Structure 1
């Protein structure tokens, strides 16, 4: 029996993305409507303003407003403000007057849109579980693991892809020009998997010697504001898992971090 040909997932995904990106005119402003969803399942929008010769890209303040609507008070909490700043680190994004924004030129427009979408998605993931403990704490937990196991890394590094740079949570050098590009996924979702797969598709061309690794948080950490200390498994969809395994060299579930095979991948 002749095996059925595998579909061109990279081509199909990019075609899906292109079909669902819309540019809307609102007065003198252009708005990019994307297929990526906020916590209320509305499409994330990127606003484009011009100020003199500069292009200002921003989220219209919706990311923080949505979190406040979910009951997350950020302005009154230094800890939560620090989490916001940490989540957008490495993306070239600033949080100013309640909105996430960045500046672009015509040549850097696509790159800056990509970075802004990455920052918005990270912040949305922070409170997907309705508690302020996901991406930022997961980053700190993984970093502590690397330090304890003497794994040398660089954190928050933008890596050039075919069309744009892609923020990496960690880059681990393996010597002889080889390295591990590591993305963390604190709140695994189909949307997060698609964003990661886009980065891996591009980096396959520009960094063919690098290994692409996702460290997947497949557990619910105890709520730091609650009384319980149970660690429970997360329900990760088959489609999310399939996309990650298709485009990644390794998908490491955090629940297996005490397994010797986990460390072998990071040190190989």
Structure 2
């Protein structure tokens, strides 16, 4: 199946496109991920007595300000940013830098968390530009509430690689557990990341809970047609999905309500 090759190639790409540069007192990690101005997202690292400080050098919030999205002048945006930072264990210092600390042992996870926080906060520009009041994830939350589903938002689980992964929602049943990710727009990159995350936590999670773990992708198909190859990839990895336009069908309701 092409998705196995795609996942392997994706991680090879990440490693090949990561650049290390020596700055003044800091080591700069240039990642393959792009910021608001289509420039590489960079993470700055400095070691001091066994503690590694990781920073975005203030670029994330500064870029948002330059694009007209102020976090300091909007209490709602500040609340959103605070929730994102809390979720990833990242803080903001007095200079507006996104900061986290690690040891050598947990450096991969902390770097992963800081990068995730940078990208999620940067996405706020798209929300402001389109004046979107309710993002797709919140629409899905409303759908779960509508169906009286008890769930855990922003569910974190550690996988066999030792890394922790965040899923949008988790539903716990008597004999099974479901992790859910939402896709307002689906592509090979975010699909591969989701399937890798789900596959990585599956064995560990089932051993801990003694429940069968399922994964579910909820995909927004209302404004665009979803490629069949993406749905085939989900099926090949034993991951189920719900197309948003068909969320109220009996079959899809059963996917989130079945015991």
TM-score (norm 1): 0.79
Q: Normalized per residue, which structure has more helix?
A: 2
- 2:93 alignment partner in structure 1: 96
Counterpart among 53, 59, 64 of residue 61 in structure 2: 64
What secondary structure does 1:103 align onto? strand
Aligned CA-pair RMSD? 3.0
- 1:112 alignment partner in structure 2: 110
Cα distance, 1:13 vs structure 2: 2.3
- 1:265 alignment partner in structure 2: 255
1:83 and 2:85 correspond: no
Cα distance, 1:151 vs structure 2: 0.9
**1:194-209 → structure 2 map (5 Å cutoff):** 194-207=192-205, 209=212
- 2:180 alignment partner in structure 1: 182
Cα distance, 1:106 vs structure 2: 1.0
What stretches of structure 2 of length at least 5 have no aligned partner?
A: 207-211
CA distance in structure 2 between the partners assigned to 1:61 and 1:141 by the alignment = 31
Counterpart among 159, 162, 168 of residue 161 in structure 1: 159
CA distance in structure 1 between the partners assigned to 2:215 and 2:233 by the alignment = 13
CA distance in structure 2 between the partners assigned to 1:237 and 1:121 by the alignment = 25
**Contact 1:213–1:248, Cα closer than 8 Å, also in 2:** no
TM-score (norm 2): 0.81
**Contact 1:189–1:236, Cα closer than 8 Å, also in 2:** no
What secondary structure does 1:35 align onto? strand
- 1:228 alignment partner in structure 2: none
What stretches of structure 1 of length at least 5 have no aligned partner?
A: 220-232
Equivalenced residues, count: 250
What secondary structure does 2:92 align onto? strand
